[in-house]
Amino acid sequence: MSINRVKLFIGGEFVESETTQYIPVTNPATQEVIAEAPCATPAEVARAIASAKEAFKTWREVPVSERARVMMRYQALLKEHHDELGEILAKETGKTFEDAKGDVWRGIEVVEQAANIPSLMMGETAENVARGIDTYSYVQPLGVCAGITPFNFPAMIPLWMFPMAIACGNTFILKPSEQDPLTPTRLVELFEQAGAPKGVLQVIHGGKEQVDILLRDPEVKALSFVGSVPVAEYIYRTGTEHLKRVQAFAGAKNHSVIMPDSNKQTVINNLVGASVGAAGQRCMAISVAVFVGKSKEWIPELAEQLAKVQPGAWDNKDAAYGPLISPQAKQRVVSMIEQGKKEGAECLVDGTQCVVEGYPDGNWVGPTFFSKVTADMKIYQEEIFGPVLCAVEVDTLEEAIALVNANPFGNGTSIFTANGAAARKYQHEVEVGQVGINIPIPVPLPFFSFTGWKNSFFGDLHAYGKQAIRFYSETKTITARWPESEIDNGPNMTIKLQ
């Protein structure tokens, strides 16, 4: 049986790579090889960069209203093919169909925001900053931008990046995850169908070698990344060393603080979904539940509910979530669970022996729940990236805030409470970039920005929202005088406007 070899997208054409190195793309539920992703040659990466550079010359001159119309057509096509994209995504990631469609939908929302680009690209004006002098600013594109995206959201995260960058007038090179490249390929096909000019978007595949070329090539002006902490640090350091603008989104250890005055059933339902949904493979997953005071009495009931959750194949409507992305990912999660047991945490629900009927080779890990977790344990300190929830007990809200603030990550957090004063105190004092109040996973809609802090983000300007416009553009400020007469008062020897 012939294997589907994923193509590169260079100069507006899908092309077969000339490489001899391919990476297998496997179905996480069966280990069946469903495609092969090429490791683009250095010459192919260079060609993609050159094509993007050439396309920028004309794309930057396209009126902003026309760029917006491309995005309007694109979001309409994405909605039309929503279920199709969800199925492609589910098969290569293992996500359930509903979760996969949610991945696509959150990306569509960003494209809708990109369609608002005319108002987002407006500059500022001030009349008579000095006598007869006006100052105004324009927002202009940077040039060639690039994005490196992870396996866990192969629709949403590419759509965080290239629509916003291209709407701003840039051209873009996408290097999607080699573990699930089929969804990004279909996104690109639809973008071309929406009327995007040739060369505006390029797609290359591969690993570190291909990324390093993007990081070092002087024609790439800005680079966006989402992935693990070590790689994010490397991307940020290398990119900025080569004088690029970089935003690098990294790992997390997200806490949910449970106050005793919150609604018990609401808390339990939210913790179950936010901790093991998508097999815990979300940088905004809740991986630590901080029980304050008497709320610790709910831990046994939470364990009962987690134990009922069953993973399964993407097309099983009763499955709560799918397999982990790879056998290596499963092995790492299982080893972390075993480490937690050795460190003295109490494993109330153990998912290491999870079996899904009909899928003996799947990367299954069942819901896992630890109580009596302390801050010195490895399962608390490191991102597990699996369906594992750790329970920590404290006496007061102040202790909970201190615990969260001492953690090196700052991606997301939430508090469940019926007390407005407690919620206000928490949102004000917690050192985390995204806070939910009675909402477990506070990923903002795209008219706001995705604002992780501390070791969850390296850079200055975040994804989507107004900050994305700033990241993918430069501001040009003009100060102008148009004298009504030719009277000249002589040379001005100061910096003061006269």
**Could you list the active site residues?**
283
Rg (CA), the chain: 25
Sign of the dihedral through C-alpha 182, 209, 169, 56: negative
Contact yes or no for 186/9 (Cβ under 8 A)? no
339 phi/psi in degrees, rounded to 5? -65, -40
* Tokens linked to 477: 């400020």
| Rounded CA separation 224/462 (Å) | 9
Two structure tokens written together for 120? 């987002």
The residue whose two tokens read 């809708």 is 112
User: In whole angstroms, what is the distance from residue 49 CA to residue 53 CA?
Assistant: 6
Task: With H, G, I as helix, E, B as strand and everything else as coil, classify residue 178.
Answer: coil
Strand partners, 8: 15
Query: Rounded CA gap, 492 and 138, in Å?
Result: 27
Task: Give me the numbers of helices (H) and strands (E) for the chain, helices first please.
Answer: 16, 22
CA 480 remoteness from chain centre:
41
CA distance 18 to 10: 13
Kindly give, in sequence order, each residue whose CB lies less than 8 Å from that of residue 22, ignoring residues fewer than 6 positions away.
Answer: 5, 36, 37, 38, 39
Q: What pairs with residue 329 in β-bridges?
A: none
- Residue 473 contacts residue 140 (beta carbons within 8 Å): yes
Query: Which residues, listed in sequence order, are joined to residue 254 by a DSSP beta bridge?
Result: 286
Q: What are phi and psi of 88, to 5 degrees?
A: -60, -45
Are 43 and 206 in contact by the 8 Å Cβ rule? The answer is no
The DSSP bridge partners found for residue 125 are 136
Q: Which amino acid is at 147?
A: G
DSSP assignment of 246-303, as one string? Answer: EEEE----EEEEE-TTS-HHHHHHHHHHHHHGGGG--TT-EEEEEEEGGGGGGHHHHH
Tell me the residue ranges of DSSP E strands in 383-472.
Answer: 388-394, 409-410, 413-416, 435-437, 453-454, 457-458
Q: Parallel, antiparallel, or unpaired for β 22-26 and 33-38?
A: antiparallel
